[in-house]
Structure 1
Amino acid sequence: MTGTRGGLREPLIDRTTNRNTETRDLENGTVQSADNADVDVDADADAEIPLIKRPYRIAATVVASADLIGTLAFAWYLEGWKCVWPFYSHSSTKYTLNNSIVDIVWIGVARSVSILIQSSTCVSLRASKIVGYTSLSSLLFLIVKLCYSTGLRSETDDKMLLLLFISFTCCFAECILQFLIGIYSADDLSTTVAPTASQAAEGIATSDAKSISLWKLLLVLKPYFWPEGLINRGCVFLTWVFLICSKAANILAPLCIAKATDILSSGNDDDSRREVTKYIIFYALLLLSNKVFKEAQALAYVRVKLIAGVQLKEQVFSHILGLSMDWHQRKSTGTVVTAMQRGINASNMVVQYIFLYLLPTLLEACVVTLVFVKEFDAPLLAAVAICGCTIYICCTVELTIYRMQFRKRMNKADNDASHKVMDALLNIETVKYFTAEEHEVHRYRESVETFKDQAGKIQISLSTLNTSQQIVLNCTLVAALLVAANEYNQGEFSVGQFVAVNVYVLQLFAPLNFLGSIYSMAVGSYVDLQNLCNIMAEKPDIQDKEDAQNLVVRPTPPSITSDLMPTDNNNTTPSALGIEFRDVVFAYPSRKEVTVLKGISFTVALGSTTAIVGATGSGKTTLLALLLRFYETDQGEVIVGNKNVLDLTQKSLRGHIGVVPQDHALFNDTLKYNIVYGARGADDASVQTAVQGAQLSDFIGSLPDGLETLVGERGQQISGGQKQRIAIARVLMKDCPIVVLDEATSSLDSRTEEQIQASLESLRGRTKLVIAHRLSTIQQADQIIVMSSGEILESGSHEELLALGKWHEQCYASLWDKQKKVE
């Protein structure tokens, strides 16, 4: 082999394969690049988009316009100018709730105009809230009017009922659209609370929040509704059956007490007493059934929760392991683990508190209103219940949102206090060097004082919330009882129904007492589920082709040679594979502007040893990443065993390559587990052979627990040299046709290095790629490649490169001379 010099060239960038194309996501407000990096968009970017074209605003404009025109036209058809002003004809017209349409017209006009203005000109979240609550108030009034008019059906004009129903339908649609506008296309212009210290440490940014669709949410929650296994699905079915039975018993119980009360008020004979006793027993049994079914539901859900949690954890963990190396290197490990754990916990909380608690409670409220309408024939009572629950929910949500700012500030102060304590204790020597004890206590006191102030505000706001809830509850109860009393006075109600109304109202609001906590949990869980869904939506950058083949090592007849098989090498074995890089150009996806490799071409002959040297950052380790197909080349090809790595499955490719990495990361497990990780399931004899080959026998023999000794997190309980030998033992266990040594002896002393070098000789006959800084360890290599700034500077054997002389400061002869002087 003759030593050759490589001329330095300009970076070669393939413009046709540049994947850094930008696509603007209007809804998320970010620019998505093909390498999945999120770049913040300037505030001016949204200004370029007409406000009316933001999500749901066009639909709101259309519905509001149809509401305004339709209401005015139909009202004019019914009563002419009288629909606008009831006293237009100068007659003594009396306003009645069930027959007058002037209120429908004026409320509809005010609502529609406010929506048209807000949809086209108002961008703030506050404006959306004002218009939204205006629409909601209008909807509640229409509900009351519709229920009252239905109750006086004989005295109500049918055409007025039709107009009322049309206005109610439009108003309901407008309320939903205003809710969606507030979520997706309104800007919160108020001052936001800074993220907590823990969030900052975890790399969580508010700009990363993305909306998730209902379908994606259901896909994540699928194990809770349709887990694997017939028994598990049976438990899901029983959970919902017990839930329905519990709610049914809760709704039927007041009807029994109403019957018992009516019988008591009508007579006191033996038959009455028997009937009363029967209904009282039914009432008690229904209350008991409610509790029993609740407990049965909880027991059935325990298995569902555990099984679904396990399946979801496996699904998420498997997905994360399958993501590309570039994604893992760009993401903080702490952020990923936290998002995974919180997302899984949030999924259980969403199912348990929203699907199994809140939604059934709202459905129960709907059934109770139907009972008021059908069983009690009191539509106005149903309207009171609906209005009371709606106002109760709105007050609870708004006050909870108001309280969350204090909670965030308190959490931030608590995290800051903990951070300051840990920072001071970890740097205790520095604190004592500069006698800064009082300074650190003062810093800690500031955070504690802030925590105390915010905790007090939280308690005050909690009292305000509880008081507001009780006011709404009692006002609703009073209104419902007044309506029931009026019905009784008119002979439409019995005493038992009056009692049942009191029970139903109290029963209706009892589950809503926890609405504030559920809302806070739902907001936090929604954010956590967003993060989890974003992870699950990630796709690996590196994927196998549909027709990808497995890399198979076939025996090579001695008579056959190729460019990858040197004819003068007698150590070639049938298990070796050749490697070739052909005009490889590469830049990392997250840094496309920096070309790391520039037209790299070289061949590692089958069964030979090739060493790669060069300064830090010259691209040596990048070659290893491309060989293992952690990344794909921008130009050129990487050939293994006469096949392009793009045509091979990643599993079979990496299965034929053994690597001793530069960073010797060990699992927090035993020595044996870490050694056999290269060949899981190997017998003890193979383990002992690898231990001896890696010069670990004396070290392991000195440990009380031997191979069962725990190495600690990332191997912190053993030295760097021992970790390096364990990494070498892994490769010896794997017994691969290709071996890559990335600074395999960098952490070893001279004596151990000599021993390891001797043990590595047992890999003779395999194709070896050695990345080294110590040139003394690669003198016997068949080929040495010197790299500089992503290009091959020169190549040849040790003697050939020395013969070329010191023609460049990074050439082999210069590096050799510098190391000899240091030694």
Structure 2
Amino acid sequence: MARPRKSNEKTEELPKVKLTKESIKEGLVLFKYIEPYKGKFIAGLIFIALSSVTTLAFPYLLKELIDSANDINQGKLGQPPGTIALMMIGVLSIQMIFSFMRIYLFTSVGENALADLRKDIYKRMIRMPMDFFAQRRVGELSSRISADVSQIQDTVTTILAEILRGILTLIIGMGLIFFISPRLTLLMLSVVPVIIIIAILFGKHIRKLARNAQDQLADSGTIVQETLQGISNVKSFSNEWFEINRYNSSINNVVSMAIRNGQFRGLFVSFLLFSVFGAIVLVVWYGAGMMQAGTLSFGDLTAFVVYTAFVGGSMAGFADMYSQLQKTLGATQRVRELLIEPVEDVTVAEGNVDDNFKLSGRVEMQHIAFSYPTRPEVQVLKDINVTAERGQQIAIVGPSGAGKSTMVSILLRFYDPTSGKLLFDGKDATSIPLSQLRKQMALVPQDVLLFGGTIFENIAYGKTDATQEEVEAAAKKANAHQFISTFPEGYQTVVGERGIKLSGGQRQRIAIARAILKDPAILILDEATSSLDSESEALVQDALNNLMRNRTSFVIAHRLSTIRNADKIIVLEHGLVKETGTHQELLNVSDGLYRSLSKLQTDWSIDTDNI
């Protein structure tokens, strides 16, 4: 049933870090991705400066235009208003070009640099060892490559430019208003910063309320998701009323929070309008007195008010930009963690198996012991000794938690043993390049993951340059061609996310076809038929027999009936090899674990048949 629970899954708010020397230094490391585009980046900086200058030139020309019109009314000679207006149009035209170039250049640099960063992150992430993925959630890693990089991208393409532009506007604007009237500037500085500080505090509180409302809305979405995923449980317990009440309660909380947020926003906007226009009235009133005294012209007063608005806007914008910069440094730290993580020594270029590393299929495990890095005190495998000759079928059985899947992980070198040796054709596994080793091995797991493309693409994953004929031949050996041919699109049928459009047996046969196409020297089957019905199991088992023929195979099995013909059966218990032998040899061990497991399955099968 969709269970009530406390909300731990909030809408993700990227954490911030303090601006320290260390965090800034760490953030600057990512500027190496900008280096290939430094020409455009420098040009962008130049256009930012030019854009700021032309923007601040406009109020000055406006002042000149007003003073010119006023002088003409008083019969004084001066610059014709038409000339000044044309100059203003010219400045606006130049400003338009500068703004376009600034945005274009920074966007170009940011998009290219962050594309390179994304590629690097993914390239490293896909080469991480299995232990790395065992300790992290998929959602967390996806967030690194999406949310964190997007935050950095926003900073490089927009926020960085806005910070530089804001600083220039603040410095030049302050210089100009002080030049126009030092007295008015001092008056403005006594009022505007106080308004900005109050506005920032108001803004922080409003953002907090908005985040709480978003979190509550996310909880409502979680209730819907849980209810629909567990709809059969909800209906079977007749708990529709309970889920409706739970959802209504959550939505009512959202409405309550949103209204409270609206009240504070109303107060904030009212305060802002009163404060801003009140400050303008104060400045204009004081400036009018200066005009009457003849110490300030009407044009000077107009320019002063406009420049004050520019300076105030820049000061107010710094608070949000500072917050964004903190988030970016936090995102940078998390991305940097990925970029400095140790990776597996695998090749990332396409290539064939080197003749020097070709395997015939002989495998030895000599005194293998293993503990997972996260639980070093728990020994999962203890003194494992197994030898598989070329072409032999080795079955691995035992109760849950015996260490069967761990043995598979050791064979694939997802993990290296804590002690002991793993040998392929007499060579130490560590002397064979990892990619060369894995190119000659294939895994058919219990839970087959198909990629969301076509059937052809999923089978061809075993050999990316395979032809249509090769894919079809593999599918026929895997007993998959027949059901594929019944689909209207045939091999171009899209399987859906994780292969959801196919049945379990069909997914297994696609995975077997993929392994056949790879033509490995060593095959690993991890309980490949355990979750199938009898009809599907027969088809899959026949396909597996085709796949295992003339190649070394390690088969993990719960259904002992599928491994009766194995050349050797390894019985594991608590990480130790308890018994070794053929099916018949192990059945003859009177108090043997294998015999006990076999009897349990036989009794269960008889009971099932009698039901």
Normalised TM-score (structure 1)? 0.65
Find 1:702's aligned residue among 486, 490, 502. Answer: 486
State which structure, 1 or 2, has the greater radius of gyration over its C-alpha atoms.
Answer: 1
1:285 corresponds in structure 2 to: 90
Find 1:461's aligned residue among 264, 282, 298. Answer: 264
Q: How does 1:242-257 map to 2 (within 5 A)?
A: 242-257=47-62
Structure 1: gaps of 5 or more residues: 1-193, 556-573
Contact 1:711 1:718 in 2 (8 A): yes
The more displaced of 341-350 and 428-437 is: 428-437
- SS of match in other structure, 2:243: helix
Contact 1:396 1:515 in 2 (8 A): no
Work out the CA distance in 1 between the residues paired with 2:509 and 2:554: 18
1:395 paired with 2:198, answer yes
Letter in 2 for 1:639: L
Work out the CA distance in 1 between the residues paired with 2:537 and 2:232: 37
Alignment CA distance shift 1:578-1:395 (3 Å): farther
- SS of match in other structure, 1:595: coil
> 1:453 deviation in Å?
1.8
Letter in 2 for 1:812: Y
Q: Deviations over 1:177-221 (max 9, x none)?
A: xxxxxxxxxxxxxxxxx9965338x8x998999998223334446
> 1:401 deviation in Å?
2.0
Contact 2:170 2:315 in 1 (8 A): no
Letter in 1 for 2:462: G
Normalised TM-score (structure 2)? 0.85
Contact 2:170 2:314 in 1 (8 A): no
Q: Deviations over 1:544-577 (max 9, x none)?
A: 79xxxx985559xxxxxxxxxxxxxxxxxx8513
1:331 paired with 2:136, answer yes
> 1:584 deviation in Å?
1.8
Find 2:121's aligned residue among 316, 332, 342. Answer: 316
> 1:599 deviation in Å?
1.8
Contact 2:16 2:330 in 1 (8 A): no
- SS of match in other structure, 1:199: coil
- SS of match in other structure, 1:591: coil
Work out the CA distance in 2 between the residues paired with 1:608 and 1:429: 46
Work out the CA distance in 2 between the residues paired with 1:622 and 1:483: 82
Q: Deviations over 1:261-317 (max 9, x none)?
A: 444444569993544332232223223433443244334444445434533332332
Work out the CA distance in 1 between the residues paired with 2:435 and 2:192: 58
Work out the CA distance in 1 between the residues paired with 2:581 and 2:108: 66
Letter in 2 for 1:766: R
1:441 paired with 2:244, answer yes
Work out the CA distance in 2 between the residues paired with 1:432 and 1:753: 33
1:198 paired with 2:9, answer yes
1:179 corresponds in structure 2 to: none
Find 1:745's aligned residue among 529, 542, 549. Answer: 529
Contact 2:361 2:522 in 1 (8 A): yes
Q: How does 1:630-779 map to 2 (within 5 A)?
A: 630-748=414-532, 753=537, 756-757=540-541, 759=543, 760-761=545-546, 763-779=548-564
Work out the CA distance in 1 between the residues paired with 2:430 and 2:93: 66
Work out the CA distance in 1 between the residues paired with 2:67 and 2:19: 57
Work out the CA distance in 2 between the residues paired with 1:508 and 1:196: 43
Alpha-carbon RMSD across the aligned residues, in angstroms, is 3.7
Work out the CA distance in 2 between the residues paired with 1:292 and 1:483: 38
Work out the CA distance in 1 between the residues paired with 2:292 and 2:365: 96
Work out the CA distance in 1 between the residues paired with 2:319 and 2:263: 15
> 1:590 deviation in Å?
1.9
Contact 1:782 1:797 in 2 (8 A): yes
> 1:423 deviation in Å?
3.5
1:797 corresponds in structure 2 to: 582
Q: Which has the higher contact order (CA 8 A, sep 6+)?
A: 2
1:452 paired with 2:236, answer no
Contact 2:367 2:421 in 1 (8 A): yes
Letter in 2 for 1:344: V
2:598 corresponds in structure 1 to: 816
Work out the CA distance in 2 between the residues paired with 1:798 and 1:454: 68
Q: Deviations over 1:598-642 (max 9, x none)?
A: 121222223333221111111111011112221222222222233
Q: How does 1:295-374 map to 2 (within 5 A)?
A: 295-373=100-178
Q: Deviations over 1:748-768 (max 9, x none)?
A: 555665555555346444322
Contact 1:477 1:505 in 2 (8 A): no
Alignment CA distance shift 1:625-1:406 (3 Å): same
Alignment CA distance shift 1:787-1:433 (3 Å): closer
Letter in 1 for 2:171: C
Alignment CA distance shift 1:440-1:195 (3 Å): closer
> 1:250 deviation in Å?
1.0
> 1:341 deviation in Å?
1.9
- SS of match in other structure, 1:677: helix
> 1:729 deviation in Å?
0.9
Work out the CA distance in 1 between the residues paired with 2:252 and 2:598: 62
1:14 corresponds in structure 2 to: none
2:312 corresponds in structure 1 to: 509
> 1:454 deviation in Å?
1.2
Structure 2: gaps of 5 or more residues: 606-611
Alignment CA distance shift 1:369-1:494 (3 Å): same
Contact 1:264 1:272 in 2 (8 A): no
Work out the CA distance in 2 between the residues paired with 1:415 and 1:582: 53
Alignment CA distance shift 1:687-1:327 (3 Å): same
Letter in 2 for 1:311: D
Q: How does 1:46-65 map to 2 (within 5 A)?
A: none
Aligned residues: percent identity?
27
1:412 corresponds in structure 2 to: 215
Alignment CA distance shift 1:523-1:401 (3 Å): farther
1:500 corresponds in structure 2 to: 303
Work out the CA distance in 1 between the residues paired with 2:375 and 2:337: 22
1:217 corresponds in structure 2 to: 27
Contact 1:551 1:648 in 2 (8 A): no
- SS of match in other structure, 1:659: strand
Q: How does 1:142-157 map to 2 (within 5 A)?
A: none
Q: Deviations over 1:35-73 (max 9, x none)?
A: xxxxxxxxxxxxxxxxxxxxxxxxxxxxxxxxxxxxxxx
2:405 corresponds in structure 1 to: 621
Equivalent pairs, count: 595
Q: Deviations over 1:461-487 (max 9, x none)?
A: 223333444455446545655776687
